[in-house]
Structure 1
Amino acid sequence: MVCAHINPITLKEQSVKEHLYNVSKMSMEYGAKISLEATGKLIGILHDMGKGTKRFDSYIRYSCKHPKDKSLKGTINHSTAGAKFIYDNFYNTTDQYQKFTAQIISLAICSHHGGLIDCLDLKGMDKFTDRMNTDKDILYEEALNYFKEECFEIAQIKELFNKAMEEIKVMFIKINKIDSTAKFGRFAAGMLEKYLFSCVIDADRYDTYTFMEGKEQNSNIDRSGLWNELSDLLEIKLKGYPKKTKIDLLREEVSLSCKNFAVNSPGIYQLSVPTGGGKTLSSLRYALAHAKKFKKDRIFYIIPFTTIIDQNAKEIKDILGHEDMILEHHSNLIIDYSKDNDDDLEVYKLLTERWDSPIILTTMVQFLDTLFSGGTQGARRIHNLANSVIIFDEIQAIPIKCINMFNSAMNFLSNICNATIILCTATQPLLEKTEMPIKLSENPNIISDVHEKFEQFKRVNLVDKMVVGGYSANSLKNFILDKMDHVKSLLVILNTKNSAKGVFNELLQANQELPKEKQYIIFHLSTNMCPSHRMKILRNMRMKLGHERVICISTQLIEAGVNISFGCVLRSLAGLDNIAQAAGRCNRHGENEDYSEVYIVNIEGENVSKLVDIKAGQQCTERVLRDFKENPDMFDKDLLSQKAMERYYKYYFHERRNQMNYTLSKENSDKSMYDILSGNNEAANEFNSRNGYKSKLMLKQAFKTAGNEFQVIDQNTTGIIVPYGEGEELITLINGDCSLGQLKQYLKRSQQFSVNLFEQDKRKLEEMGAFIGLKNNTVIALRKEFYGDDVGVTFDNSPMEFCNF
């Protein structure tokens, strides 16, 4: 028997044949979700053909006996043989469908350890053909002979390939119906490659994980029964909600509209609900009813900020129970080395989150990374987006550079993968009017009378209080204290941590000089705090609000989705969408029968030069403010009206229309990521110039280059576990002796005790010796002295003196 894996505890052996059968079965199931059953099966059958050699068998056995010796790691290329077999037998043809089918299968197989390779790199070098023509170190003939003798007959492979080719033909007819332009067609072909790559990656890793753990693969959950049960639980809960105030009744109308709309066919829809309109539970009501009717596999909540995950997950779990069925995915806690490393997998890589829970709450960063980042960590999740309900909460927060790729990906997921997409926000961006528009379904609005609903929900007045030169920390402190004479609570949202610190210090000093009856409690919220920590602060804040004088200083993390209400809000100048979201934290439940005040202020010396989105938003908001002063009737005399928001997005999208294809960095700033993930036209021209003829590749995408370049935000973040509360115990447990199954559970629990660090902050803490490497440095933990109850992750011995009562 030629061995694929050896269980290090039981020493049980898994043959290459058994592994190939298991992976092909799962890959077939995943492919079948989008009618690519034969294609998925064939990729699974061939993915590890290269393991069928005596040399690989010896390597596996030696590694099992000498687990600390890594000298042979990566010396055997076993991921190319199966790809080369398809290429040699099916690629060289004039039949375009056969050629494409051969390339898409070969590419998925040869990339399944290090991530999708470039077909053409940016210099026009044909990396795909080079990989297929390599004979170095793959022992191809020996692997092929073993495969033919022990695993599958070549006639079976040929029959399966012909079926795969027919599936691909049908797929391109579907793609052409979505959008007949060549630009979208090539992008969709790239998405198809990513989907199939996801099928084999996840099947390969999951089979390896279950074998190494000695576990049976998870049996399928009765989704139909689950959706029925959860839907009933939610309906019972909603019946018990008060329906006394005007806001209560309006929220009930929104919720009922969502439930009734769920009978509509899968598609792409908009849920436009004013802030405080109860869209979290309303969209959940829609999702459960829709999943029940159309037999959906999963429900995803994609959320811009981790703070919203904290709150929404708690709210959903409190109502539905079934915590084991609900995943919160804030951070990648397993470091993904596969972008740079084509070696065989470390066992801990098998534990990367695969999104197989029925309900998943995650961030826009994690979602976009799954679709577009390199390596294999995120890619394995893509197939689980098929046949799901995907709810985007606060869709306006999508990074401008990702808009066209996002729109095209949503069109693919909806029309090819049968996903239902819901775009939720109080401030709908004009995604359907971009160069590569999102294809909304016919009659896309779940709430039909949007303008009327916004008027009914009106609870605040937005007032421009900006001054020439901006407010200093001292003058803003005076402004805040003046407003505190009229209200009991006030929220200040600023664009930078430095501005927040300056205003806080002024308020702290002033508070000591106030008469006791005028003193207040001050709270601080920061992204440097883990979810569990932030939730504790929010709970404490809610207990004080309405009973004591409260001021909260925060950056924008509080302005969307956090269910909390203040008597007054100050928002530093930003995009009108940000300001509208901030306004949703004021008089949220209509506690004040009159309109409460939300003030726009500008800050002296506030440096937003690196906050490109905020800076551009500021400029467009100022244009709307000028228009409003000239003709308030044009906006129904309300700066938060739908007409004002539509004007803002018209300015904002026009101003940034050339940034929506994701411009590459540095020396490649003349190229866009959308292009290199579709036609890769400039690379194709480079190839033509060098060789004197056009590249015959069907897929020309520079997948690896794009994946390595892709960053949702301007710099990458790394998830670390922090020693707050239970986090301290989890760090100890992870670092101790535990099985893979136990480690998987510890990592899932650690999501509540994780912080995402920007690269510059990570480097600074590394230099200070702040980290502990766990499990061969595949997981990072923070030392206790670098986490404080006041600010969370701290970089020095004198953390900012915030008081969180």
Structure 2
Amino acid sequence: MFCAHINPTTRKEQSVKEHLHSVSKMSMEYGAKISLGATAELIGMLHDMGKQTDKFNSYIHYSATNPSDKSLRGSIDHSTAGAKFIYDNFYHTKDPYQKFTAQLISLAICSHHGGLIDCLDLNGMDRFTDRMNKDKDFLYEEALSNYRLEFSEMKHLNDLFNKSKEEIKAILTKVNKIDGSAKFGQFAAGMLEKYLFSCVIDADRYDTYLFMEGKESKQNIDKSDLWNELADVLEVKLKSYPKSGKIDLLREEVSIACKNFGENKTGIYQLAVPTGGGKTLSSLRYALQHAKKFNKERVFYIIPFTTIIDQNAKDIKDILGREDIILEHHSNLVVDNDQEEYKLLTERWDSPIVLTTMVQFLDTLFSGGTQGVRRMHNLTNSIIIFDEIQAIPIKCINMFNSAINFLSNICNATIILCTATQPLLSTTEMPLKLSENPNIIPDMHEKFEQFKRVNLIDKRTTEGYSAASLKDFVLDTMERVESVLIIVNTKNTAKEVFNELKKANADLPPEKQYAVFHLSTGMCPSHRMKILKEMRTKLGHERVICISTQLIEAGVNISFGSAIRSLAGLDSIAQAAGRCNRHGETTCSDVYIVNIEGESVNRLVDIKEGQECTRRVLDEFKENPKSFDHDLLSPKAMNQYYQYYFHNRSAEMNYTLAKPNDDKSMYDLLSGNKEAFNAFNSRNGYKSELMLRQAFKTAGSNFQVIDQNTTGVIVPYGRGKTLITLINGACNLSELKEYLKEAQQFSVNLFETDKRKLEEIGGIVGLKDGAIFAIRDGFYEDDVGVTFENAPMEFYNY
């Protein structure tokens, strides 16, 4: 018997044969969701053929008895053998469907250990063919011979391949109907590869996890019963809500329209509702109705900021009363490194309702390695609700559009784009293919007029406001209202204004003093929720001022008497306005636009470009307010803003790579890889015959949703302190998985520069041999969250 894994506790061995059967079965189930059952099964059956050698058998036994010796890890190539079997037997043909199918399968198998490899790299070198023809440390003949002895299904492999070819042919026909262009066809072929890769990676990791932990696979939930139960609970809850005021009645109209729209077939739709229009519950009502009607697997909420997850998850859990079926996935707390045992803990997105960020969603589709991609297949036959879709990074737009077209048309996912400020995604070079009659709320313009609760007032000055003069403006505004929200563009500005307001507050007579709050992305979700809860209890009863970065401006259910927004994109300003007079407490409240002296946004390109386009709209509004329906927040104003913004940035939408490769785009790397194709042809004097040319590895390692990489770290706030100790103590993988899930509430995402800064001053500690990071005590404060100042030199030993 050749051994695949050894349980560290029981010393029980799992044979390669057992592992391959389990993985192929699971992989087949995942592939079958988009009619690729045979293809995914074949990949599963062959992915670990390379473990059928004496050398690997010796290695696995040595590693089990010497767990601290990591020197041999990754030294034996066990992932090429199965790929070469397909390559040798099926790739060399004139039949394009057979050749394409063979490359798809071989590529998924040979890449399953470290992530999808480049087919052609940036220099036009054929990495795929090189990998298939490698001869060092490979032991292919031995692996194949032993595989044949242990498996009697060799004919079954041929039959599976023939079925697989027909499956792929049918999928490509569907792809061609979505968009007949070669560019989209090649991109979709890459998505198909990633989907198959997702099936085998998740099956492989999950089967290994179950064996190593001595667990049984989770029982599948009857989704039909679940959706009916949840829909009934939601309907009862909605009936109990007040419907007395104008805003209440308008929200109910939106909610009913969403429920009725749930009867429409799978597609790509828009939910354009003014801020404060009750999007979260209305979209949930839609989702449950649609899931019931069309037997959907999951509901995803994809959210731009982790702060909105905090509130939306709490709202949904409170209403549905089923915390057990809802997953909040803020960040990856396990680093994607060589430590195989911790890779088993990567979040799978297998809960019925998943709330996660746009960063995690895009990483799942486009990042390299094996960590994020394992989740992709769970997007199939789901409802994916994008909350505040306008926050999508401009560089990702064409990749996002094409991926969504693939997910909807090939993976049967229903897509809902939610926002008060719909970007023009169907007008780009690679347009989003909206369904016929895509608007869930048909009388959008009328609804925006009915929901009007604020006046947007341009208060920019020639010099701009200093922190001190902004403080004066805030206090002057507080003479007319009981609460003010100030939203600025940078954490430093927020801190400066917060300190000015704290000082000024101390000098005021007691009757004019206010509660002053500060919100920052340097705070963990649990901390932010505590501050928001405290603020809500005081609003309407005490004088309140809150200073925040943009994290509060989308999706946070809170209402102030007035708001002040530092100049930004008009979409951001509209979102900020949604935190003012949210429930129609007064007839109309004032929201002010200000410009802040010294607020440097040169490195915040999205904000800087948004500011320029907003300036144009503000100046045009002064000249001719009638053309914007006398309202800076009208759909006409927003449409004009997006026309400027998308026109100015259209060249960026394919994701230009960083220097020295800024003549190439990520979209091209993941589709035709034209430059590399031409380089190959020039060097060799003939054309590459590869069907898939994508530079998957290069694209994956260069892909960043935001321009700086971030790392999820656990902070010593509240229960976070205990979790840090528990995680770094003696715990098995099951316990660690539970601790990490809970730690999402006590984590922050650090930019690479901030992480390095903290490392230099001893503010970060590595847990589990550096697979997980935590902030040390003394580097986290109640006012600001993570801090780099006044940290003590003596630390707790975690």
- TM-score (norm: length of structure 2): 0.99
For residues 38 and 394 of structure 2, the distance between their equivalents in structure 1, rounded to whole angstroms, comes to 38
For residues 601 and 794 of structure 1, the distance between their equivalents in structure 2, rounded to whole angstroms, comes to 28
Look up the match of 2:658: 665
The aligned runs of 1:57-76 (5 Å cut-off) are 57-76=57-76
Amino acid at match of 2:539: L
Deviation at 1:523, TM superposition (A): 0.1
Amino acid at match of 1:322: R
Is the contact made by 2:396 and 2:653 (CA closer than 8 Å) also made in structure 1? yes
Which of 655, 665, 681 aligns to 1:688? It is 681
Amino acid at match of 1:263: E
Look up the match of 1:306: 306
Q: Secondary structure at the match of 1:622?
A: helix
Look up the match of 1:380: 374
2:364 maps to 1:370? yes
Look up the match of 1:287: 287
For residues 410 and 147 of structure 1, the distance between their equivalents in structure 2, rounded to whole angstroms, comes to 40
For residues 616 and 70 of structure 2, the distance between their equivalents in structure 1, rounded to whole angstroms, comes to 61
Which of 544, 548, 556 aligns to 1:554? It is 548
Amino acid at match of 1:279: K
Look up the match of 2:26: 26
For residues 315 and 544 of structure 2, the distance between their equivalents in structure 1, rounded to whole angstroms, comes to 24
The aligned runs of 1:367-766 (5 Å cut-off) are 367-592=361-586, 594-766=587-759
Look up the match of 1:164: 164
Amino acid at match of 1:638: D
Deviation at 1:667, TM superposition (A): 0.3
Deviation at 1:40, TM superposition (A): 0.4
**1:594-639 C-alpha deviation (Å, 9 max, x unpaired):** 2100000001121100000000000000111111111111111000
For residues 715 and 599 of structure 1, the distance between their equivalents in structure 2, rounded to whole angstroms, comes to 31
**1:30-49 C-alpha deviation (Å, 9 max, x unpaired):** 00000001000000000000
For residues 655 and 29 of structure 1, the distance between their equivalents in structure 2, rounded to whole angstroms, comes to 45
For residues 45 and 356 of structure 1, the distance between their equivalents in structure 2, rounded to whole angstroms, comes to 23
Q: Secondary structure at the match of 2:536?
A: helix
2:36 maps to 1:17? no
Look up the match of 1:186: 186
For residues 580 and 541 of structure 2, the distance between their equivalents in structure 1, rounded to whole angstroms, comes to 16
Amino acid at match of 1:157: L
Q: 5+ unaligned residues in a row in structure 1: which ranges?
A: 800-805
Deviation at 1:479, TM superposition (A): 1.2
Look up the match of 1:39: 39
Look up the match of 2:335: 335
For residues 579 and 719 of structure 1, the distance between their equivalents in structure 2, rounded to whole angstroms, comes to 28
For residues 98 and 433 of structure 1, the distance between their equivalents in structure 2, rounded to whole angstroms, comes to 36
For residues 78 and 430 of structure 1, the distance between their equivalents in structure 2, rounded to whole angstroms, comes to 47
**1:63-112 C-alpha deviation (Å, 9 max, x unpaired):** 11111111221111000000010001111111100000000000000000
Q: Secondary structure at the match of 2:344?
A: helix
Amino acid at match of 1:670: D
Look up the match of 1:2: 2
Identity %: 76
Which of 784, 787, 794 aligns to 2:780? It is 787
Q: Secondary structure at the match of 1:666?
A: coil
Amino acid at match of 1:662: Y
Is the contact made by 2:778 and 2:791 (CA closer than 8 Å) also made in structure 1? no
Amino acid at match of 1:27: S
Deviation at 1:772, TM superposition (A): 2.2
Is the contact made by 2:483 and 2:539 (CA closer than 8 Å) also made in structure 1? yes
The aligned runs of 1:260-271 (5 Å cut-off) are 260-271=260-271
Deviation at 1:582, TM superposition (A): 0.2
Look up the match of 2:796: none
**1:136-188 C-alpha deviation (Å, 9 max, x unpaired):** 11210111011111124321111110000000000100000000000000000
The aligned runs of 1:187-336 (5 Å cut-off) are 187-336=187-336
**1:473-502 C-alpha deviation (Å, 9 max, x unpaired):** 222111111111000000000111222222
Deviation at 1:798, TM superposition (A): 6.9
For residues 340 and 672 of structure 2, the distance between their equivalents in structure 1, rounded to whole angstroms, comes to 35
For residues 617 and 733 of structure 2, the distance between their equivalents in structure 1, rounded to whole angstroms, comes to 56
Q: Secondary structure at the match of 1:276?
A: coil
**1:407-461 C-alpha deviation (Å, 9 max, x unpaired):** 0000000000000000000000000000000000000000010000000000000
Amino acid at match of 1:550: V
For residues 114 and 501 of structure 1, the distance between their equivalents in structure 2, rounded to whole angstroms, comes to 42
Is the contact made by 2:50 and 2:143 (CA closer than 8 Å) also made in structure 1? yes
Q: Secondary structure at the match of 1:14?
A: strand
Q: Secondary structure at the match of 1:422?
A: strand
For residues 95 and 682 of structure 1, the distance between their equivalents in structure 2, rounded to whole angstroms, comes to 26
Which of 766, 773, 779 aligns to 1:773? It is 766
Q: Secondary structure at the match of 1:441?
A: coil
**1:303-331 C-alpha deviation (Å, 9 max, x unpaired):** 00011000000000011122111000001
For residues 500 and 737 of structure 1, the distance between their equivalents in structure 2, rounded to whole angstroms, comes to 41
For residues 720 and 126 of structure 1, the distance between their equivalents in structure 2, rounded to whole angstroms, comes to 39
Amino acid at match of 1:669: D
For residues 10 and 493 of structure 2, the distance between their equivalents in structure 1, rounded to whole angstroms, comes to 58
**1:14-38 C-alpha deviation (Å, 9 max, x unpaired):** 1000000000000000000000010
Look up the match of 2:795: none
For residues 497 and 8 of structure 2, the distance between their equivalents in structure 1, rounded to whole angstroms, comes to 57
Amino acid at match of 1:671: K
Q: Secondary structure at the match of 1:300?
A: strand
Q: Secondary structure at the match of 2:224?
A: helix
CA 1:413/1:152 → structure 2, altered by over 3 Å: closer, same or farther? Answer: farther
Q: Which moved more, 1:735-744 or 1:231-240?
A: 735-744
Look up the match of 1:803: none
For residues 36 and 47 of structure 2, the distance between their equivalents in structure 1, rounded to whole angstroms, comes to 16
Is the contact made by 2:779 and 2:791 (CA closer than 8 Å) also made in structure 1? no
Deviation at 1:512, TM superposition (A): 2.1
Amino acid at match of 1:266: T
For residues 38 and 509 of structure 1, the distance between their equivalents in structure 2, rounded to whole angstroms, comes to 69
Q: How many residues align?
A: 792
For residues 346 and 188 of structure 1, the distance between their equivalents in structure 2, rounded to whole angstroms, comes to 30
For residues 603 and 322 of structure 1, the distance between their equivalents in structure 2, rounded to whole angstroms, comes to 45
Amino acid at match of 2:19: H
Q: Secondary structure at the match of 1:351?
A: coil
For residues 727 and 56 of structure 2, the distance between their equivalents in structure 1, rounded to whole angstroms, comes to 31
For residues 791 and 147 of structure 2, the distance between their equivalents in structure 1, rounded to whole angstroms, comes to 64
The aligned runs of 1:112-191 (5 Å cut-off) are 112-191=112-191
Amino acid at match of 2:779: F
Q: Secondary structure at the match of 1:720?
A: strand
Q: Secondary structure at the match of 1:146?
A: helix
For residues 397 and 580 of structure 1, the distance between their equivalents in structure 2, rounded to whole angstroms, comes to 13
Aligned Cα root-mean-square deviation (Å): 0.9
CA 1:269/1:152 → structure 2, altered by over 3 Å: closer, same or farther? Answer: farther
Q: 5+ unaligned residues in a row in structure 2: which ranges?
A: 793-798
Is the contact made by 2:670 and 2:699 (CA closer than 8 Å) also made in structure 1? yes
**1:625-669 C-alpha deviation (Å, 9 max, x unpaired):** 111111111111000000000000011000101000000001000
